[in-house]
């Protein structure tokens, strides 16, 4: 009798956690000041739209990037629509010249979603011809340090953002 109750309680806890996470992710998608400031900072500096619609990019940008990198690497196809360099050229913050950092375009969402990315251990987070050398803090930290920092940062609510 007691064993079954424990199993039931455990299952309910897991289900609750899963639903909460799903809800939080949904909230992140449409995060704004109404949610009390929880969510990534998304600042767009250039252009009026991305190469694909925003909803499509939110879900699928990884697929586009992965497919395109194989094409560029192995076949030498250098179209710019899905090129990572093109993303960086457009999305880099003009003040920091980077897509990383506290409010960087890539870092902000990825830190909030706790999905560590590997791209910038090799790729430059600065646009071409930016002229400004990378600051040391901008380089991608080691994967383990990244994990430890992410869990610490996600515990804090963020302030208001535009």
Partner 1 sequence: MSLSRRQFIGIGGAAVAAMAAPGLRLIELANARSPAEAATSLQRWGLLVDISKCHDCDACVTACSTENGWYGHNRPASDPQWIRKVTLKDNQSGYVETLPVMCQHCEEPPCVDVCPTGASFKRADGIVLVDKHICIGCRYCMMACPYKARSFVHEDTTNQKPYAPRGKGTVESCTLCVQRVDAGRIPACVEACNKDGHEAMVFGDLNDKSSEISKRLASAPSTQLRPDLSLNTGVRYQGI
Partner 2 sequence: MAHIHYREFDGPGPGFYAVLGVLGALILIGLAAALYMEHNGHWVTGMSNQIVWGTPHVFAVFLIVAASGALNVASIASVFGRQLYKPLSRLSGLLALTLLAGGLAVLVLDLGRPDRLTVAMTYYNFKSIFAWNIFLYTGFFAVVAVYLWMMMERRMNDYSKPVGMFAFLWRLTLTTGTGSIFGFLVARDAYDTAVMAPMFIIMSFSYGLAIYLLVLMAAMRGSGREFGDVVFGRLRILLGVFVAAVLYFATVYHLTNLYITQRHGIEGFILVHGGQFTTMFWLGQIILGGVVPLAILFSGVGKSRAMVALAAVLVILGGVAQMYVTIIGGQAYPMPLFPGKTIVASSFFDGQIATYTPSLPELALGVGGFALALALAAFALKVLPFLPQSLSDADADPHHESAAKKQAAAA
* Residues that bind partner 1 in the complex, under the rule CB under 8 A: 69-71, 73-80, 85, 88-89, 121-124, 126-128, 133-134, 136, 139
Binding mask 48-87 for partner 2 (x = CB under 8 A): ----------------------------------------
Beta bridge partners of 93: 98
Binder of partner 2 out of 1, 144, 152, 155 (CB under 8 A): 144
Cβ proximity to partner 2: between 12 and 62 the closer is 62
Beta bridge partners of 98: 93
Tokens 């600042």 correspond to 43
- How far is residue 42's CA from residue 135's CA, in Å, rounded to a whole number? 21
Q: Does the protein bind partner 2 through residue 5 (CB under 8 A)?
A: no
- How far is residue 15's CA from residue 19's CA, in Å, rounded to a whole number? 6
Q: List the Cα angle 83/42/100 in 5-degree steps.
A: 60
Q: Which residues bind partner 2 (CB under 8 A)?
A: 118, 142-145
């Amino acid at each position: 009798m007691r064993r079954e109750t424990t199993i039931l309680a455990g299952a309910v806890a897991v289900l609750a956690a899963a639903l909460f996470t799903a809800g939080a992710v949904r909230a992140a998608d449409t995060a704004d000041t109404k949610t009390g400031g929880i969510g990534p900072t998304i600042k767009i500096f250039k252009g009026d739209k991305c190469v694909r619609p925003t909803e499509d990019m939110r879900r699928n940008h990884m697929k586009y990037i992965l497919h395109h990198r194989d094409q560029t690497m192995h076949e030498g196809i250098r179209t710019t629509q899905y090129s990572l360099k093109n993303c960086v050229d457009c999305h880099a913050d003009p003040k920091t010249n980077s897509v990383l950092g506290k409010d960087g375009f890539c870092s902000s969402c990825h830190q909030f979603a706790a999905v560590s990315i590997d791209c910038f251990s090799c790729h430059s987070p600065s646009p071409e011809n930016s002229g400004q050398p990378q600051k040391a803090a901008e380089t991608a930290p080691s994967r383990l340090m990244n994990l430890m920092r992410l869990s610490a940062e996600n515990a804090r609510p963020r302030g208001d953002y535009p």
